Amino acid sequence: MSKVIITEKLTKKFDDFTAVDAISFEVEQGEIFGFLGANGAGKTTAMRILSGLSYPTSGKAEVAGFDVYNQVEDIKRNIGYMSQKFSLYENLTVRENIHFFGGIYGLGRKELKQASEELISRLHLGPEANKLVKSLPLGWKQKIAFSVAILHRPKIVFLDEPTGGVDPITRRQFWELIYEATSQGITAFVTTHYMDEAEYCDRVSIMVDGAIAALDTPAALKSQFNASSMDAVFLQLARAAKRS
């Protein structure tokens, strides 16, 4: 198996504040990797570095085979990104959004046409394809946003709290989409505040005060911390945090 993310003592400082403190970990291709931590633990800063939006202060990291210091444009072309806060343009139709994002991600005209028709039929969006995104239910938006983020077949898709605020059925259907994508070899790097979703990950890391305090499969973490659920594991680790 190839590794799509490798970090070694990756560090980011803002003046005298160390937001990310020498984190080292690896993510395998096709893995669902849960990236958990309390607010302020350094998750967002680390994700920004890994997606080529911010430079580290020291340490090493490679994403999709490219270096986070001098190959950030290559990184951006080989990843997808989706969050609950930013997903689709509300005032564009479904088809326009697909074309817009596909174009941004560098798909050619012909490729784009094929990929977008494929997506529309796979999600059974035929009748809705020419409707404005804002008229669709949130659950649909989330599914379209995810599909758009992987339209260019990236090696990794970063999902930043993708299921915040959605109903319990849609939340679970969303995870089924993640499973489908990863079974095709895409790696999913996911943050979430729903601890039951941590169980759906192949491996989970938990950040505390800028460092990775634990990293393993959910089953191994539960046995290591003698806990019955990931919620209990998280509580044990995050309660020890010094910054909030």
Q: Do the Cβ atoms of 102 and 148 come closer than 8 Å? A: yes
229 binds another protein (CB under 8 A): yes
Binding residue for another protein (CB under 8 A) from 103, 106, 108, 137? 137
Task: Please report how close the Cβ of residue 158 comes to another protein at its closest, in angstroms.
Answer: 17
Integer angstrom CA distances of residue 93 from 23, 111, 120, 129? 41, 19, 12, 7
220 binds another protein (CB under 8 A): no
Output phi, psi for 9, to 5 deg.
50, 40
Binding residue for another protein (CB under 8 A) from 9, 130, 167, 223? 167
Q: In this chain, which stretch among 45-53, 108-116, 143-151, 189-197 interacts with another protein, using CB under 8 A? A: 189-197
Strands (E), the chain: 3-14, 17-28, 32-37, 58-63, 66-67, 79-83, 156-160, 187-191, 203-208, 211-216
**Cα–Cα distance between 199 and 63 in angstroms, integer?**
25
To which H or E segment does residue 96 belong? Answer: helix 94-104
Binding residue for another protein (CB under 8 A) from 166, 186, 188, 214? 166
Please report where in the chains the tokens 């997903």 appear, as a residue: 87
Size of the site for another protein (CB under 8 A): 35
Q: How many angstroms separate the first and last alpha carbons of the chain?
A: 37
**Cα–Cα distance between 216 and 244 in angstroms, integer?**
24
Is 117 or 231 the residue whose CB approaches another protein more closely?
A: 231
239 binds another protein (CB under 8 A): yes
Is 18 or 229 the residue whose CB approaches another protein more closely?
A: 229
202 binds another protein (CB under 8 A): no
Q: In this chain, which stretch among 62-70, 103-111, 116-124, 161-169 interacts with another protein, using CB under 8 A? A: 161-169
Task: Please report how close the Cβ of residue 7 comes to another protein at its closest, in angstroms.
Answer: 22
- Which pair of structure tokens corresponds to residue 238? 């995050």
Is 39 or 114 the residue whose CB approaches another protein more closely?
A: 39
Q: Rule CB under 8 A: which residues touch another protein?
A: 37-40, 137-138, 161, 164-170, 172, 175-176, 179, 193-196, 199-200, 218-219, 229-231, 234-235, 238-239, 241, 244
